[in-house]
A and B are shown apart, each in its own frame.
Chain A
Amino acid sequence: MSVTREFSADQKQLIITIKGKFDFGLVQEFRQAYSHIGDSEPLVIIDLRETEYLDSSALGMLLNMRKSLGSTVKGIHLINARPEVKRILDISRFEKMFTIA
């Protein structure tokens, strides 16, 4: 279970946690995690606290998610990134498309 998803009690947030390695090996699991989000226009939160490895395919998957969800969500937050992961997100200028907290 390297991808888990969980709605907040008020259904306003969808929290997706990715553990270990984030790459194309998770492509289906990850897509399922943000599918069927209902009409509540939730905020999507990707919790990267336990993401140790990621590569460009992971960045591609995040961008795909953003395109696919579009305006059906309130926004997408990438949270708890370790310094190294944060640097990769910064290099890729992800703060322009996601909220990095």
Chain B
Amino acid sequence: MKILVVDDQKANQIMLTGLLTSFGHEVVCASNGREALGLFEQVQPQLILLDVMMPEMDGFETAPRLKAMSGSVHLPIIFLTALDSQDTLLECLKVGGDDFLSIPFEPVVLQAKVNAHARVRELSYSIVEKNRALAWHTARMEREQNVVQHMLENALADNQLNYSFVKSYLRATSDFNGDVCLGRKGPFGNYYIFLGDFTGHGLAPATGALPVAQAFFSMAERGLSVGDMATEFNNRLYKVLPDDMFCAAIVVEMSANGDRISCWNGGMPDALLLDAQGRLAHRIKPQHMALGILSRSEFNSQLEHYFLSPGQRLVMFSDGVVEACNHKNQMIGEERFANWVTEMLDSDCSEVQFNAIVQRIDDFTGNASLNDDLSLVCLQCQPTGLEPQARSIKGYHLPFSLRVTLTEYDVRDRDPMQSMVDSLAKLDALQPHKTSLYLLFAESFNNLLEHSVLGMQSELKHEEGFERYYEERQSRIEQLQGLEIYFDINYEPNLNRLAFTLSSNSEHRFDGRCDRSTTIENDDTYGRGINLINQVADKVEWRDGGTLLYVSYSLSRPLV
């Protein structure tokens, strides 16, 4: 240990240096306070023996300065004093002294005191080190939380909760909310809501919210059913979450007209469906376990569907709402909350009324601390007013001609038309037309196959004959041999047109001669194919004596 002895008496310096060196310490001496301060930076002493009475600067003035120079690490100062007046001793303590040593003294006392203070110094040093480590970890934790917060905010940037027909409120007990509320419009003008409650608060549930939010937005955009959504959330969370974590959730879809909702409730409190007067019409109870518990095979995606009349409202909330307590430790409770809802949302769910319910929760809980995250959503069932999604076509394609020759192998047990359209639809410009293209290809192909190649009679399709017709078709296909059907497909991007001709190595005509002409209004189950081709295509022509069909389709035709 490095010790600084500050004493103007040469004799004392020599005596103390001798003793301390013999105890194994390193000693530097100063003759007064000023000299001690000058030496401090260079020597970096770990303990000070300080005389009281000295020229230039005495011990009382020196002690606080030395303490200040030592910073956050404790620097023990033992005053050397010949005086034992009580006032002097008190003054020593007041200026920051830690102990006294009266001269003369027994060497063993010096040794004991130095050792005792060395331990304190060591302790202080290790505390400072630990504080430094702690500060570093705290900063690091904060940085990482900021990263997650940032990711979460970005993931939720597309959250669409600002429509007039939806009101939501979330309150978190920590920086990260264990409750998640997501909203998104679908491609049919429909609207989806996800309200979830992860076990726990903080970072862990926030991390679980990420995959759910991503899956929710992308599935909503594709217009999937709520059952498929719930299945996907469950699969993801089952894989990702540890066994003791899960996510209670309610997933709802409202139709574009606002006249129908589909709902999957796993482990959330009953959602309250109100009638137009605000009376409780139905409780949508949790029919399922929370997400992330059941394996794929055990999971049940059964939905509940409700038809609504105008003005109905759906109120959903996490258990944090009904379990919120006041200062007497009384919970709000399901009954009381349902009463508030029916009382306050009597005619509408306006901003004012929604905020009044939130206020009521706040008034009830008062200053009592929140034990759980709290979320509340009200969905007003009305036409959403959201436009169905229009697909934008981008990209530039080259023209091409393509000949496809099908044989009986391609026709048996397969649907060559689906393969063909699936392939064509990989082009951006054709993708939005795949349903129409499939219809044109499939109807033309079936007409050729059934009437020219297989020699079937359409009338067979009538009612009970419908299935027999297709059985017969299948059995005739089984017997086909040496079949060749030719598709010549021509794509002309400059004309925005896709055209094809269809023919076969069969001699027979298939120009509809055998397809009884039908009016569109009749509801016969047959004779529709050619009509559909005529209506969907721009140009339909029979060529080569009814053995070749030419169909042209305009890609600039609006879809809606």
Residues of A bordering B, CB below 8 Å: 6, 8-10, 12-13, 15, 17, 21, 23-25, 27-28, 43, 45, 47, 49-50, 52-57, 59-61, 63-64, 66-67, 79-80, 82-88, 91-93, 96-97, 101
Contacts and interface: CB of A to CB of B under 8 A. Distances in A.
Contacts of B421: 53
B439 A8 contact: no
A47 B227 CA distance: 13
B507 interface: no
Given A8-B306, A83-B388, A49 B224 contact: yes
Given A13-B307, A49-B188, A55-B438, 17 more contacts: A9-B306, A10-B306, A23-B415, A45-B305, A52-B435, A53-B438, A55-B532, A56-B443, A56-B446, A59-B528, A60-B526, A63-B524, A63-B525, A80-B190, A83-B559, A84-B435, A84-B436
Interface residues of B, number: 50
Contact of B525 (A54, A60, A85, A88): A60
A12 B307 contact: yes
A92 B529 contact: no
B185 interface: no
B433 interface: yes
Contacts of A9: 304-306
Given A49-B223, A56-B528, A64-B463, A91 B535 contact: yes
B355 to A, nearest CB: 32
B188 A97 contact: no
B438 A13 contact: no
B225 interface: yes
B255 interface: yes
A91 B531 CA distance: 9
A24 B470 contact: yes
Contacts of A12: 307
Contacts of A53: 418, 421, 434-435, 438-439, 442
A15 B439 contact: no
Instruction: Please give me the 10 A-B residue pairs with the lowest Cβ-Cβ distance, nearest first.
Output: A84-B435, A60-B525, A8-B305, A83-B559, A56-B528, A9-B304, A53-B438, A56-B529, A55-B442, A91-B535
Most buried by A among B227, B525, B531: B525
B525 A64 contact: yes
B169 interface: no
Interface of B: 187-188, 190, 223-225, 227, 255, 257, 259-260, 302-307, 388, 415, 418, 421, 432-436, 438-439, 442-443, 446, 461, 463, 466-467, 470, 520-521, 523-526, 528-529, 531-532, 535-536, 559-560
Given A27-B467, A56-B443, A87 B559 contact: yes
A16 to B, nearest CB: 12
22 contacts: A23-B415, A23-B442, A50-B223, A52-B438, A53-B418, A53-B421, A55-B446, A57-B470, A59-B525, A60-B466, A64-B525, A80-B255, A82-B435, A84-B433, A84-B435, A86-B560, A91-B531, A91-B532, A91-B535, A93-B520, A96-B521, A97-B523
A60 B531 CA distance: 13
B362 to A, nearest CB: 34
A8 B436 CA distance: 32
B419 to A, nearest CB: 11
B296 to A, nearest CB: 14
Given A53-B418, A54-B435, A59-B528, A67 B463 contact: yes
